Structure 1
């Protein structure tokens, strides 16, 4: 376990962490070992099965597209077979990043453009994918056993970051703690080391030196990303409450049920 007790080392899985320990405005607490988030699980070792069973993770929600699952197929560690829910949520940065790799050898690394694309992705995801995010909450509300829920995308930082922030807000966690959980990605992935490694790989591919700071949006997150999502929600729906009710189908009764299921009072 790392210095931050929410982050767990899980062989072959990036950004795996427990969302427990946050307090709500009403005095309740998000329980430990009830909600987990991560990057994709395709590369986890069979030894991970013992740890995942021990953490009683019985449900997995996967936000990845079919194309992402072709690159990193769904697989489970030995001895662990969760209830699996594929709920694809699109992100408009993915195709652009794929094109970026193809043009590296003939053009400079577009650091500013890269950050802009991720801002745009955060503005787009909660609006264009409201139906998919609604299914995420429907799945949580249908989760009746005592086991934990793990939700993930490919890197566990963008789609997972947005849905994780929405979930914590609906549970009544204040904005400062929601942002703390969102930014924890930067610690969980060892931002400096990962950026240097990715920049080295891209430099080799491009035949030119790329500054590790330029690749930051590919591996980490920043406050402005989540603020962009909130701003888009307010602009489109008028308020967060209107978004949750009209966009996600979560009225007061369903939000209360969500809190009953995923809070310790």
Structure 2
């Protein structure tokens, strides 16, 4: 189908805003990598009025999708990890146009995964993990086992992605295939949760016991980014933490993550007086 798509991407390549074009072909009969399409044209632009633009094409029994993203949108997805297909497309897709080696540099960055970017990604992932894990534990204590199961599955997925980051790699769509090779202990937890013949209550009970250690052992590394940011000054209000540029990507998980780190002793509470004799301001500081 590439011959049919060539005039389309050649036209886009002539646009000075186009930084790179990647062609992704379906590798399996039903491919999650290409959203079931036979071909994907993945185009990155320097700027656009629309950060995301999609168009579909068809020819006989074949179908193709055109996706145009700004480099700013792509960076956001890569930082937040909210679109894992991007990593697969960038690494495994075929480059058909590359202005000033933009894609070459981006792929090299993905392979090298600089430590600063990795720490931020691990922090965001650990924040999501802590929230889902704590909520799952609460549901379990309330005997809401199906809700607990749903949350612990999500928390295991975040734990799996964290393990991939620890190995200097980016999580892909089939993250459990990666984790089976990189960290068999996490894969075993996941496998036992979904395939064990024990009752759901017993499976969850055993998993919480095992997960506590795995999460505790990763807390220092998972919290490294946020603790480094908070070390920039002595005390913080929660509003100042929300407004700190590097921490904005933690989004709705930020306050739960802060409280998790308070509970673990990584962040300390500093009380300051208010106009009332009974209520105190609550400030945060890292443990020296």
Which of structures 1 and 2 has the bigger CA Rg? Answer: 2
Higher helix share: 2
Higher strand share: 2
Higher RCO structure (Cα 8 Å, ≥6 apart):
1
TM-score, L = length of structure 2: 0.28
